[in-house]
Amino acid sequence: MENKELLEVENLQTYFTLRKWGFLRVGEVKAVDGVDFELKKGEAVSIVGESGCGKSTLAKTILGLVEPTGGQVNFNGKTLDISDKKHLDWYRSKVGYIQQDPYGALPPFMTVRRILEEPMVINGIKDEKEREKRIHRALEDLKMTPVNEFINKFPHMLSGGQQQRIVIARSKILDPGLIVADEPVSMLDPSVRVEILELLKKLQDDYEMAVVYITHDLSTVRYFSERIFVMYGGKLIEKGPVEKILREAKHPYTKALLEAISDPDPENVKTFKKVPPGEPPSLANPPSGCRFHPRCPDFMEGKCEVEVPPEFILEDDQRVSCWLYEGED
Amino acid sequence: MTRNNEQFRVENLYLSFSTKRGIVQAVENVSFSLPRGKTMVLVGESGCGKTSLGRAILRLLPRNVKEYRGNVFLNGQDLMQLSNEKFRREVRWKKAAMVPQAAMNSLNPVIKVSEQVIEPLLRRETKREKAGAMKRAEEVFKLVGVPLDFLERYPFELSGGMRQRVILAMALITNPDIVVLDEPTSALDLLTQANIMNVLKRIKQEEGYTFILITHDIATSSELADLAGIMYAGQLVEFSEAYDLFREPLHPYSQKLMASVPSLKEEKKLEYLPGQPPSLLEPPRTCRFAERCPERFERCDEEPPMVEVKEGHQVKCWLYK
Ligand SMILES: Nc1ncnc2c1ncn2[C@@H]1O[C@H](COP(=O)(O)OP(=O)(O)OP(=O)(O)O)[C@@H](O)[C@H]1O
Ligand SMILES: Nc1ncnc2c1ncn2[C@@H]1O[C@H](COP(=O)(O)OP(=O)(O)OP(=O)(O)O)[C@@H](O)[C@H]1O
Ligand SMILES: [Mg+2]
Ligand SMILES: [Mg+2]
């Protein structure tokens, strides 16, 4: 069991079956299609991609909420097996989850105390004093102070940003080794996003928690993680250190994304953006070969639409799935 | 295309709603003016009244309006003096158009795109009128970059980005003097968002349209902004050339807001605003921002006036009085 990787995701695939009249199989949605990565103890990574590319499905599969069609997830050297109830309970206590929609995430008829207490009750922390201590510490960690002002409130009495802090507090109350945060700030106003991200970052540092931060907003990842994985059409198409990717993205899709994002600069009115046309691929009927090929400015006929590009490993462990880099690794 | 040289101007506009819990003051004493062919962006946190201001301009009001007053001048004409009937017949969609928040989902999925797009042009539905409208529809489709054969399709066959362009075409078909765009790209994926901003920028430059762009996305708003207004709790707290507002915001709220916007190019320390905006139910008579303001002093207990710091740059803050 000597293994320094906390999480290993190996060739993970999650397909949803599309049915007609509830039983007739008419096709499948390849929401996650061959994802590989590793995560060390205490490390933060960001998974970036546009709406519908499979980010949430990847999160749910890692969390054991959805059964993979293929591949596996190893945590602390143990392979996740969602049919084994005892193993799954253990796993869920070790892996926290911040789900995408903060407004639906909190039960409306429970107070903050009840919400935070529940996971501890379920996981057999019987000592009431210990539970109270942890609730206080979690609220303090998330700057919900004075604690007594918040502890008896119901979710609807809290602002969106405060609700999201409770969601985060709940996800860490069992001291997990890993938190999967699915768009934890995208529903919030820009002016409070940064604060929440900084709180999450501080938890990661203070408690040596690994975090998978899922977002469509590339401009926030620098403030959060050491590495970025870029997702497109169910696959991770580029991986690497944050600064490296922001400066020298290699995949044409990553480059297009970076070009598409505006900096708050009044000079922008003068120039047009060079953005490829078209729409994200349908995952029920994805393009052959490289899934970006129909929109790619560097499309190479006879190659890109024929064969799925493998991952080429470049300098600084930057990895890119694009035929342009064949032979450069 | 010739366009009247006069400006669009809003003076002392108020809009409030009655609710069970009291009166919600969504737009309070807002004034600004906009030269022909320019785009003003209106930014601010969720719930600060941006959409309400847009609706007040277009007189698209819900039933529970409590107070609606002020002046809205378009080409020198005060629209507020017009009867509802006259406003509907002569102004809305014809001289002033709005692309509402999440509008791309409002197209009727089972009516042909062309039928819906030409709707604002039709009065009597004669054959001749329809033929003319179809010609104009083709023009605006070219303008916003939708293939002409999409006119004969149904909305459910179109992607989100294409539907948003169709909505834009519909707003432009009457060649209006002002177009209010309420979060026109926020529901779209990033590359599509950038493509639509390119389209808006091009038609602004080439056709000289006057836009008011409502958004909470400050970074993206810089793509189109000639002028910028910052809204806070129902009030306009700063208004100036976009260049000044982006480079050197004056109101402490604008400063914090700008400092909270992440940048891809430079590594800057981000700031954020602690606390929350005040409730719009009986908002405080102090400066609305006082409670969260790092620069607060005694005078802030009283509501500040709009101060003209230099020509064309106004800020509602005692620091500049
Ligand atoms: N239970 C399901 N059954 C069938 N298809 C599904 C299911 N859940 C997700 N999908 C499809 O899988 C694809 C990926 O969805 P997913 O929610 O993972 O995307 P996402 O990247 O999280 O998007 P967003 O940024 O909008 O949250 C989409 O095409 C979606 O419609
Ligand atoms: N018909 C209504 N009745 C009562 N209150 C309303 C009504 N419409 C809007 N409001 C309230 O008025 C305030 C301003 O709302 P508005 O929709 O203008 O904000 P916004 O700045 O557009 O926000 P967002 O960025 O979330 O779209 C909010 O507090 C809102 O709840
Ligand atoms: Mg998602
Ligand atoms: Mg709005």
Of B161, B189, B257, the CB nearest to A191: B257
**Residue bearing the bigger pLDDT, B268 or B233:** B233
CB contact under 8 A, B222 and A216: no
How far apart are alpha carbons A70 and A10 in whole angstroms? 9
Q: Is B257 within 8 Å of chain A by CB?
A: yes
What residue ranges line ligand 2, CB within 6 angstroms? Answer: B 17, 19, 24, 26, 44, 46-52, 62, 64, 101, 216, 280
- Residue A283, ligand 1, Cβ within 6 A: yes
CB contact under 8 A, A269 and B220: no
**Helices A128-141 and A190-207: crossing angle, nearest 10°?**
130
| CATH code: domain of residue A279 | 3.40.50.300
The pLDDT tens digits of the residues spanning B131-158 come to 999 999 999 999 898 889 899 999 888 8
- pLDDT band for position B3 (50/70/90)? very low
C-alpha triplet B33, B34, B39: angle, nearest 5°: 140
SS3 readout for A199-243: HHHHHHHHHCCEEEEEECCHHHHHHCCCEEEEEECCEEEEEEEHH
Query: In this predicted structure, what is the pLDDT of residue A143?
Result: 87
With a CB-CB cutoff of 8 Å, which residues 106-165 of chain B face chain A? 159-161
Contact indicator for A67, A99 with CB cutoff of 8 Å: no
ipTM of the complex: 0.86
How many domains would you assign to chain A? Answer: 1
Residues near A216 by beta carbon (within 8 Å), at least 6 away in sequence: A48, A49, A50, A51, A55, A183, A186, B189, B190
Cβ neighbours around A271 below 10 Å, total? 10
SS3 readout for A80-128: CCCCCHHHHHHHHHHEEEECCCHHHHCCCCCCHHHHHHHHHHHCCCCCH
A-to-B residue pairs, Cβ atoms closer than 8 angstroms: 118
The pLDDT tens digits of the residues spanning A224-278 come to 889 999 999 999 999 999 999 999 999 999 999 999 999 999 999 999 999 998 8
How far apart are alpha carbons A170 and A112 in whole angstroms? 9
Can you give the length of chain A in residues?
Answer: 329
> Span B192-205, mean pLDDT?
92
| β-bridge mates for residue A162, sequence order | none
pTM given for the model:
0.89
Q: Report the chain B residue with the minimal C-alpha distance to residue A143.
A: B274
C-alpha triplet A67, A69, A70: angle, nearest 5°: 115
CA–centroid distance, A67 to ligand 1, in Å, is 14
Mean residue pLDDT of chain A comes to: 91
How far apart are alpha carbons B85 and B70 in whole angstroms? 19
Residues near B315 by beta carbon (within 8 Å), at least 6 away in sequence: B237, B238, B239, B240, B250, B251, B254, B306, B307, B309
Please state which of the ranges A16-20, A89-93, B52-56, B63-67 shows the lowest mean pLDDT: A16-20
| Torsion, Cα of A117, A121, A125, A129 (10° steps) | 40
Query: In this predicted structure, what is the pLDDT of residue B5?
Result: 54
Q: Report the chain B residue with the minimal C-alpha distance to residue A51.
A: B189
Distances (CA, A) of B88 to A312, B50, B93: 61, 22, 8
> Span B295-312, mean pLDDT?
95
Domain of A20 in residue numbering reads as: 5-325
> Span B60-78, mean pLDDT?
95
Residues from chain B that touch A198, judged by Cβ atoms under 8 A, are 272
Q: Is the pLDDT confidence value at A57 over 70? A: yes
Query: In this predicted structure, what is the pLDDT of residue B105?
Result: 80
